[in-house]
Amino acid sequence: MNKIFETPLYPYARSADQDVAEPVRHKAVVVGAGPIGLGAAIDLAQQGIEVVVVDDNDKVSWGSRAICFAKRPLEILDRLGCGHPMVDKGVVWNQGKVFFDTRQVYDFNLLPEDGHEFPAFINLQQYYFEEYLLNRLRELETEGASIELRGNNKVLKVEDKGDHTTVLIDTPEGPYTVEADWLIACDGAASPIRSMLGLDFVGRIFEDNFLIADVIMEAEFPTERWFWFDPPFNKGQSALLHKQPDGVWRIDLQLGWDIDKEEEKKPENVIPRLKAMLGDDVKFDLEWVSIYTFQCRRMEKFRHNRVIFAGDAAHQVSPFGARGANSGLQDTDNLIWKLKLVIDGLAPESLLDSYDVERVHGADENILNSSRSTDFITPKSDISRGFRDAVLDLSEHYEFARPLVNSGRLSVPCTYDGSALNTPDALPGGPERSRPGSSCSDAPLDEGYLLQRLGNDFTLMAINTDAPAELEESGIKVGSLSLYSEALDPALAERYLGEAQSAVYLIRPDQHVAARWEKFDEAATRAAIRRAIGKE
Amino acid sequence: MSLTLTPNIANADDFYAELLAIHEGRSKAESDALNARLILILANHIGDRAVLREALAAASQVANEET
Ligand SMILES: Cc1cc2nc3c(=O)[nH]c(=O)nc-3n(C[C@H](O)[C@H](O)[C@H](O)COP(=O)(O)OP(=O)(O)OC[C@H]3O[C@@H](n4cnc5c(N)ncnc54)[C@H](O)[C@@H]3O)c2cc1C
């Protein structure tokens, strides 16, 4: 049995950087080859920026970690060239059931909106997720992109030198130093780089423990998310069962605060718990068992001169709502195009501060949502438990109470309302969901899907009106996409026109709307582009 | 619409008796649960977030004055 997570996929190999007297300077160094570091590196390489990724390990994710990936990150991954392998391998799900005590109180269908290339959610083990990212990285390497991944390279020290950062890296053959124009810290929730720079990470720890188990079983359970409040097999606590590929099932059992973690983790204690949950006759093997406590916290600022934090290093949430990796990918989606413009001298360095503003906003939204879920799942007072139970009891009989049941509000994309990069909305009657700051919703085109045509560069999208095929402003080439009513899918009209007869959208390289109007206006468009790159 | 804080229930005594009647014979825990369900049902019926906020404030206000 040699599983993917046991295989060294990027074993240590000596680099030429270790044999030089003067440290080599790199354009970008990414620390951490988790989902976010790999995403950042692939995006950089696709933008033609030379990048070195270092990780203190040489394998994909170990243990029970992310399983649930939402539509927006899948769309981002598609732009990065690896969305489809994830969906092909993943388990697509829409159905769920909620149980309270011994009863099923209701079931639901997420009823995903039609006309999107990607499903609302897939379940996929984090080790597969990282494997597909690694495959994509290797593919780019083969194509000649300047991307290098160094395993068993552990960052020991970073120093801010004003216009660059020096990075001391330990290897099995001893330490060496490199310099980075830009350092992207994706070194996880325990971020050593954060500590090295003496930066804080404040927030809230939830006084609770969760036993997270991945079990392999041949079982009849359907492809649904099952969530129990106060079930007979875990009295006073909660439980979750969710399917992953390869017959692996994720089980979360809330354990409470005062427990002996080492005892609880022992198979002789875990197996009876799982039997009580799954039934005596179900045969299963344990793939992983871990005990987690969860926290919600973030750094005050994600950018510290030329060191930029992303993913769990910058913010951490409880997993209810599947917002960790999902939001981390939105970080690098937001960051990399800005960094590219700054590196190319096309935008002022201050553009990077908008990364801070936009993604701190995203992190706050995630922290708010996952704190609320955690408070519902693990009520902190008698009155809070009373209302929680009342909601659950009512939900069995009355539809109105079901939206109040909070077993995790699943990740949706963040809208950057109020960002300085947005131009005020100038499309009367335009749909709310596509206002400046929002991420573009997918929609079917004559051939393929809208999001396949957006991203990586600025795009001017004209619907039922004319816009120039090409436009250059401040050295930035803006492509165009013209859509006329004969070919217009009703979903596209609903998502981008609303009450308006025509529309012109300026869309950022991360597929977020920067500005929109009814008709093309050259001066307004140029001003909006300058604003979107931090020049106004 | 704003929160009604003037008398609005016809035959108020009858309503009050009905309110107490549903609690009859119940333990403290059962009554607490019943009250919670009732609050949620009424809140949903009102629906309007501005009115609900006013109601939350009006109820808290009295509690603050008492303590
Ligand atoms: C039980 C559980 C369930 C979850 N479920 C979900 C879910 O359903 N959906 C979701 O989106 N998220 C989920 N998450 C969160 C998700 O796992 C994380 O958000 C995600 O792994 C963050 O990725 P990252 O790349 O920021 O950090 P990590 O994955 O932690 O990667 C950090 C990397 O940095 C490396 N590193 C650290 N220090 C150094 C150093 N000094 N030098 C070099 N390298 C270093 C590490 O080896 C590691 O490879 C879950 C988490 C848990 C624990």
- Per-residue pLDDT tens for A185-197? 999 999 999 999 9
Which residues of B touch chain A, with CB atoms under 8 Å apart?
A: 32-33, 36-37, 39-41, 44
Residue B66 has pLDDT above 70, yes or no: no
Q: Is A397 on the interface with B (CB under 8 A)?
A: no
Find the residues whose C-beta lies inside 6 A of ligand 1. A 31-37, 54-57, 64-68, 126, 154-155, 186-188, 192, 212, 292, 311-313, 319, 322, 324-326, 328
The pLDDT of residue A92 is 94
Please state, rounded to an integer, the average pLDDT across all residues of chain A: 94
pLDDT tens digits, one per residue of A386-424: 999 999 999 999 999 999 999 988 888 899 999 999 999
Pocket test for ligand 1, best of A183, A312, A359, A366 (most atoms within 8 A of CB): A312
**Confidence tier at A319 by pLDDT (50, 70, 90):** confident
What ipTM was predicted for this assembly? 0.95
pLDDT band at A204 (very low <50, low <70, confident <90, very high): confident
Find the helix or strand (DSSP H, E) in which A471 lies: strand A471-473
Q: Are A331 and A314 in contact (CB under 8 A)?
A: yes
**Buried b / exposed e along A186-212 (16+ C-beta atoms within 10 A):** bbbbebbbbebbebebeeeebebbbbb
Residues A336/A341/A342/A346 CA torsion (nearest 10 deg)? -170
Residue A353: is it exposed, middle or buried by C-beta count within 10 angstroms (0-12/13-18/19+)? middle
Nearest residue to A25 via CA among A356, A341, A343 = A343
Lowest mean pLDDT among A372-376, A432-436, A532-536: A372-376
Domains of chain A (ranges, CATH numbers): 16-91+118-201+296-365 (3.50.50.60), 202-295 (3.30.9.10), 432-532 (3.40.30.120)
Q: What percent of chain A has pLDDT over 90?
A: 85
Give this prediction's pTM: 0.95
CA of A189 to the centre of ligand 1 (A): 7
Q: Sorting pLDDT into bands at 50, 70 and 90, what band is A457?
A: very high
Please state the rounded mean pLDDT for residues A305-320: 94
Residue A1: pLDDT over 60:
no
Residues A278-287 pLDDT 10s: 988 889 999 9
> pLDDT tens digits for A237-252?
999 999 999 999 999 9
What share of chain A has pLDDT > 70, as a percent? 99
Q: Find which of A381, A387, A399 to mutate to test the B interface (most B CBs within 10 Å of its CB).
A: A387
Please name the residue of chain A whose CA is at the shortest distance from the CA of residue B44: A400
Q: Is the dihedral of CA A401, A403, A404, A406 positive or negative?
A: positive
How far apart are the CA of A436 and the nearest CA of chain B, in angstroms? Answer: 26
The two structure tokens encoding residue A29: 């160094």
Q: Is A70 helix (H, G, I), strand (E, B) or coil?
A: strand
Q: Are A167 and A187 in contact (CB under 8 A)?
A: no
Distant-in-sequence, close-in-space partners of A348: CB < 8 Å, separation ≥ 6: A342, A534, A535
| Minimal C-alpha gap between B57 and chain A (Å) | 18
pLDDT band at A205 (very low <50, low <70, confident <90, very high): confident
